[in-house]
Amino acid sequence: MPVLILALISLVVFLGTLVLMGIANAAEERQIKRIGLLVPGAPFRVLSICDAFETEYAILWETQVPALRLVASEGMKGLAIQKLQTFYDRSCHVYPELYDGSSFQQWLEFLEQAELVTATESRVAITKEGLEFLKYRVRVEVAA
What are the tens digits of pLDDT across the range 25-77? Answer: 998 888 777 766 554 544 444 455 555 555 545 555 667 788 888 898 888 88
Q: What is the mean pLDDT of the chain?
A: 79
Is the pLDDT assigned to residue 130 strictly greater than 90?
Answer: no
DSSP state of 45: S
Is the pLDDT assigned to residue 98 strictly greater than 90?
Answer: no
Model confidence at 16, in pLDDT bands (50, 70, 90)? very high
pLDDT of residue 56: 47
The SS3 call for residue 119 is: strand
Residues in the chain: 144
Is-contact 130 142, C-beta < 8 A? no
